[in-house]
Amino acid sequence: MKNLLRAVMVLAVLALAGIAALAFWVGPQVEEQARREIAAVSEAVSIPGQLQFSAPDVKEIKFSPFSRRLTLRGAEIRGEMPPLAGSSLRYTLEEASFRIPLRMLLVYTPLRDMVLPEKGMMTVGEDMRISNFAYAFSQGSISAHSMVRSEEADAIRLESGLVRELLEGKDPLDMLNAVYRMGIGEIRASSVTSSMNSPEQGMRIEFNCDSMLMRNWEGRVMEKASMDGILLKKEEREFLRLGNITVTGYTLPEEATVRELLTLAARPKPNERALQALLLRMFTTGEPLVREISATDLRVPLDGQDVSFKNFTLTWPSNTPLKYGLSLDKLSLPTALVERESGLSLPGLPALVLDAKLDFAAQGNGGMHEQGTISAQNLGALEYDFVISGGATPASPQALFASALSDVRLKYTDQRLTAYLVSNVVPVAQAATPTLKAAIAQFCSGDSPENAALRGALETFATSPGVLEVRSKPGKSFRLFEAAGALAGGNPAALFSVTAQPGKKSLEEQINALKAGGAPAAQ
């Protein structure tokens, strides 16, 4: 047993010695390869006629055999943007280092072909540490600066074919192609600052972020990216504060599509129609660019009060068929702001607090099924559900009026909103319900039984606002101008049916309570 232990210990020592010897042997090759790759950076990132960089300068490149760490110190690269006369760019790096895996060290030996796989990703760096990475831009009096105090990364991976190309150095590095052939397990950055100053325009903007994270990036796909503690200042005053923003399931467009976009954008006079068509194709075909974007704890100071929300989320699960959703929790607008912008008086309402959940799903016939709920705290809630067709999702009022609606369902539950709105138009509480009934009689004057039932439901709601539900005729589609025509002609029952449930208090009671300064209980 003692002999066995002794043999194991000897083998371990020999193995460690072999690794150390390997590290000492390949060290100069690693440093030389690093110098070559750094020298090639300026050509790789330059864009003819748009962005030009000079050769980088690095004060020290050192490989430590025992730790297998490659360290760069005092790096700097300068450049300019020819379209902007007098512009200058400067990137600096205080220090960056990473550990080279043993397998990667073997790539620098005659064993390269044995350790380099034909396909797939291989880890080329571990435990990367970067300190004080800075960027500066200036053009005349305009300047911009950015700084990342600390950054860490792990599991840096490249396609084996890209590793071979870099080592052989036959062709200049194609940076865009390289992005699609690399990956990183995790990147963490802290204390990120950025600023832009334009004295002639009297503008100064500052951006600060406590930390950033990117996780599981490989080629086109990234599992997650997030930023925490975002603060935006304008003219030395807080403009926006955001607790967190997170992107989940990010997918780059195909490399050929991005290359086409860069080519179009680099032209002196880009073809706007071609750009718009390309961007539309990028967003509506293939995999969704992002599966989910969420933002939490927004605060925007405004006139001594805050506009804020608790959470906003965009979900985008599919492009074929198109399906996406939006949700908003606790969007809070100061009452003074709402009153000023709307011209309404909202006594007793401390803030307008909104929640919303909206879902969109394309249908096979070119239509879009839309449904959701929008609610205002202590005011009311609207549930809606309909199908809109006649082309793509409307992007203009003209397109909206040309589209056809079907299977419409609207359900509104009142919690004082009707009292607020009516009291702004009809100040006398006793006149509110009679005024509404007179208006209902005008646009619902048809003498058919369906119109009479519809008119009765609306009068019930006008007397004691509670729940009002509107449905379109089953199997019948219509355009907005047709709906407007039916209302103007006094025959809304040709397209809709309406039911109502009365609330606990009459409209007159609710308006009187508002004028008395009370806050009636939710209906």
pLDDT of residue 243: 96
Domain boundary among 245, 273, 297: 245
Report yes or no on 132 lying in a domain.
yes
Query: Of 154, 148, 120, 117, nearest to 135 (Cα)?
Result: 148
Query: Of 174, 158, 60, 151, nearest to 104 (Cα)?
Result: 158
Based on the fold, state whether residues 64 and 173 are members of the same structural domain: no
d(CA 196, CA 446): 64
Cβ-based neighbours of 241, under 8 Å, separated by 6 or more: 230, 231, 232, 297, 298, 299, 300
d(CA 376, CA 298): 18
Residue that wins the pLDDT comparison between 112 and 99: 99
Based on the fold, state whether residues 107 and 241 are members of the same structural domain: yes
Domain boundary among 192, 210, 245: 245
pLDDT of residue 248: 96
pLDDT of residue 399: 66
Report yes or no on 128 lying in a domain.
yes
% of the chain exceeding 70 in pLDDT: 92
Residue that wins the pLDDT comparison between 97 and 20: 97
What is the per-residue pLDDT across 493-507, written as a single tens digit (0 to 9) for each? 999 999 999 999 999
Report yes or no on 341 lying in a domain.
no
Report yes or no on 399 lying in a domain.
no
The mean pLDDT value of the chain amounts to 86
Domain count, the chain: 3
Based on the fold, state whether residues 123 and 234 are members of the same structural domain: yes
For residue 124, what are the CA distances in angstroms to 37, 160, 182? Answer: 14, 10, 10
DSSP helix/strand/coil, 204: strand
**Both structure tokens of 212:** 């950033």
Report yes or no on 7 lying in a domain.
no
- According to DSSP, the residues that pair with 246 across neighbouring strands are 226, 294
What is the per-residue pLDDT across 281-338, written as a single tens digit (0 to 9) for each? 888 888 899 999 999 999 999 877 889 999 999 999 998 888 999 999 999 999 988 8
Report yes or no on 256 lying in a domain.
no
Based on the fold, state whether residues 71 and 204 are members of the same structural domain: no
Based on the fold, state whether residues 57 and 142 are members of the same structural domain: no
Domain boundary among 214, 245, 276: 245
Report yes or no on 38 lying in a domain.
yes
SS (H, E, C) 326-381: EEEEEEEEEHHHHHHHHCCCCCCCCEEEEEEEEEEEECCCCCEEEEEEEEECCCEE
| Identity of residue 95 | E
Based on the fold, state whether residues 216 and 128 are members of the same structural domain: yes
Q: Is the pLDDT of residue 381 over 90?
A: yes
Based on the fold, state whether residues 162 and 226 are members of the same structural domain: yes
> Measured in whole angstroms, how far is the alpha carbon of residue 511 from the centre of its chain?
42
Based on the fold, state whether residues 117 and 202 are members of the same structural domain: yes
pLDDT of residue 486: 87
Output the pTM of the full model. Answer: 0.84
Q: Domain range holding 113?
A: 100-245
Distance linking the first and last C-alpha atoms of the chain: 86
Based on the fold, state whether residues 195 and 62 are members of the same structural domain: no
Cis ω for the linkage preceding 321 (within 30 of 0): yes
41-55, 211-225, 344-358: lowest mean pLDDT where?
41-55
Based on the fold, state whether residues 45 and 143 are members of the same structural domain: no
Based on the fold, state whether residues 133 and 183 are members of the same structural domain: yes
Residue that wins the pLDDT comparison between 151 and 32: 151
Report yes or no on 466 lying in a domain.
yes
Based on the fold, state whether residues 75 and 105 are members of the same structural domain: no
- Under a CB-based contact definition with an 8 Å cutoff, are residues 311 and 294 in contact? yes
What is the per-residue pLDDT across 5-64, written as a single tens digit (0 to 9) for each? 333 333 333 333 334 444 445 667 778 888 888 888 888 788 787 888 898 999 999 988
